[in-house]
Amino acid sequence: MTSARLKTLVHATIRFVVLVWVCLLVSPASAHFFRNELPEGPGGGPNSIRRLQRTVILASDEAGLRLYLRTPAPLVFVDLIARSIEEGAPAETPLLRSEASPSGERYRLALDAIRADEEAFRGRLAKAIEVKQHDRALALHVDAFRIDASSRLTPFATAEHAELSLLGDGPQADPWYDLARVEVAYSLQPLTQDAELTLSSGHPEVPLRDEIVIDNLIIDARWPSPRTLDVGGQMASPVVLDGSWWSAFLSFVWQGILHILFGFDHVLFVICLALAATSRTNLFWMVTGFSVGHSVTLIAGFLGVRPEGDWFITVVEILIAMSILFAAWAAHRERAGAGVITALIGLLHGFGFSFVLGELLGPDSESLIPSLLAFNVGVEVGQLAIIVLFLSALALLESLRPTWGPKVRASTLAVVAVIAGYWVVERLWFGLVA
């Protein structure tokens, strides 16, 4: 074997190893809308994204203020769990019991212990959230609570919905604490009639695994037209509730930006659009078509104008992966798509966005229209940011050394094609076979 052929073989092997390594990195955590990202069983897998949804509704009545909280059970015990991890010992509380599982030692909520020492559990619930006015904490009185362990819940939309949910039955057996939720109704008295309040977690911020994501939906229903905010993270920093429409709008814009920037599916597709464009005009029409397509199905899918059942989510996920593979092939063949084609593909991606937003914001929300509009604006901003940053970086490379441009384009499309192809196989297997 000649040295030239040996060198070519070594380079090909290195490329193959890198591509396989990339696929392992992006699967399955980066399959942004794959339904397995919300494990319903006791396992969940080492790479599964766990999306914890916390909902807060603040309402006023003749007696003062009412606050309704639906929170994942881990956020009620986060201080104990963090301490147990730090000390390398089980959490010391009778309200949880440790149990071995296929994925390791896990906790269950001890329902009998909670019933026997309800005051201790109510004390924990009183510390799960903190409300302040003029930098002074308001006392929270726990009026009622309920533990829920169902796999799917309709998002809270109103205070009345929260009241009705509290009347439901709880689990019969001790549920896994990381799959359970706690619903609470509090009463509190404001210090003054000033509208501005701040809301934060009652626990200090603790380190979380990378695969855990916390979404906080806050509905300020003290107004005739409620303000709805979407805030990410543990809420260690206070969230200001002052009745501002602008703050509520920007919170959903930001979530739209985050959902496309961290939705690897859509990032790869948008990059393929940028590489496929033959001119600025062509790029404009492709991006416009994609935007119109995903805007239509984002709204339609969120409002329930789509087939029901998990099979539809599976099919959409597979088709999204195929659309990325098609976009990479078209860009490689230098076949720029028309706006109509990208609009049709956008219809698929819009359903993907609707699956995520539907977990957060129910169709009965009184802030539905402004929240949907703001989220879609955020998606567009994120999409344009990806295109501008990618094409700017490519132009910079080509200005430094013109021969780098074609190599970067070809390498990028090769990586995208391999990832998309891997997703197609993976989603077919886990969605239709496993």
For 58-121, give the DSSP string: EEEETTEEEEEEEEEGGGTSHHHHHHHHHHTS----TTEEEEEETTEEEEEE-HHHHHHTHHHH
Residue 32 confidence class, pLDDT cut points 50, 70, 90: very low
Q: Which of 79-88, 112-121, 264-273 has the lowest mean pLDDT?
A: 79-88
pLDDT of residue 81: 77
Q: What is the model's pLDDT at position 224? A: 84
pLDDT of 10: 43
β-sheet with 239-241: strand ranges across = 136-137, 129-133, 197-201, 239-241
Examine residue 96 and state whether it is found in any structural domain, yes or no: yes
- The Cα–Cα gap between 337 and 343 comes to 10
Residue 256 lies in a domain: no
pLDDT for the residue numbered 35: 29
For residue 47, name the pLDDT band (cuts at 50, 70, 90). Answer: very low
pLDDT at site 434: 52
Residue 189 covered by a domain? yes
Q: What tokens does 399 get?
A: 């200005």
Higher pLDDT, 37 or 104: 104
Please give the pLDDT value at position 59.
Answer: 92
Question: Given pLDDT bands bounded at 50, 70 and 90, which one contains residue 363?
Answer: low
- Whether residue 251 is contained in a domain is answered as no
pLDDT at 36: 28
Measured in degrees and rounded to the nearest 5, phi and psi for residue 238 equal: -65, 140
Q: Compute the Cα dihedral for 234, 238, 241, 242 and give only its sign.
A: negative
Minimum mean pLDDT range among 101-105, 117-121, 234-238, 402-406: 101-105
Whether 292 and 172 map to the same domain: the answer is no
The per-residue pLDDT for range 205-242, each reduced to its tens digit, is 877 776 677 889 899 988 888 888 888 888 989 999 98
Q: What percent of the chain has pLDDT over 90?
A: 21
On the CB side of 30, CA atoms within 13 Å amount to 18
- 26 compared with 225, residue with greater pLDDT: 225
Which of 111-125, 363-377, 380-394, 398-412 comes out lowest in average pLDDT?
363-377
What confidence tens digit (pLDDT) does each residue in 337-352 have? 666 788 888 888 888 7
Q: Which of 244, 274, 294 is the last residue of a domain?
A: 244
**Domain boundary at 244, 276, 302, which?**
244
Q: How many domains does the chain have?
A: 2
In a domain, 42, yes or no: no
Rounded average pLDDT over 285-298: 85
Pair 60, 159 in one domain: yes
* Residue 310 sits in the same domain as residue 343: yes
Would the pLDDT of 117 be above 90? Answer: yes
In this prediction the pTM is 0.75
Q: How confident is the model at residue 140 (pLDDT cuts 50, 70, 90)?
A: very high
Out of 209, 244, 279, pick the residue that ends a domain: 244
Q: Percentage of residues in the chain with pLDDT exceeding 70?
A: 83
Residue 244 has pLDDT above 60, yes or no: yes
**Whether residues 293 and 220 fall in one domain:** no
Q: Is residue 9 part of a domain?
A: no
Would you state the pLDDT for residue 5?
Answer: 54
Residue 111 shares a structural domain with residue 203? yes
In which domain, by residue range, is 425 found? 14-33+263-433
Residue 39 CB burial class (10 angstroms; 0-12, 13-18, ≥19): middle
- Alpha-carbon distances, residue 398 vs 307, 392, 406, 407, 408 (angstroms): 47, 10, 9, 10, 9
Q: Is 151 contained in some domain? A: yes
160 and 293 belong to one structural domain:
no
Please give the average per-residue pLDDT across 392-421, as a whole number.
Answer: 86
User: What is the pLDDT, as a whole number, of residue 109?
Assistant: 93
Same domain, residue pair 219 and 344: no
Please report the beta strands in 287-367, taking only residues with DSSP state E, as ranges in sequence order.
none
What's the pLDDT score for residue 409?
86
Q: How confident is the model at residue 65 (pLDDT cuts 50, 70, 90)?
A: very high
Mean pLDDT along residues 321-335 = 84
Same domain, 365 and 428: yes
Residues 227 and 305 in one domain: no
Q: For the segment 145-200, what is each residue's pLDDT rounded down to a tens digit? A: 999 988 767 777 788 888 999 988 888 899 988 889 999 999 999 988 888 999 99
Same domain (yes/no): 219, 347: no
Q: Are strands 50-61 and 212-220 parallel, antiparallel or unpaired?
A: parallel
How many CB atoms lie under 10 A from the CB of residue 87? 10
The CA radius of gyration of the chain, in Å to the nearest whole number, is 24
Does 186 lie in the same domain as 64?
yes
pLDDT (average), residues 81-89:
76
122 found inside a domain: yes
More confident residue, 58 or 224: 58
Return d(Cα 44, Cα 32) in angstroms, integer: 15
148 & 67 share domain: yes
What does the pLDDT read at residue 42?
31
pLDDT attached to residue 347: 85
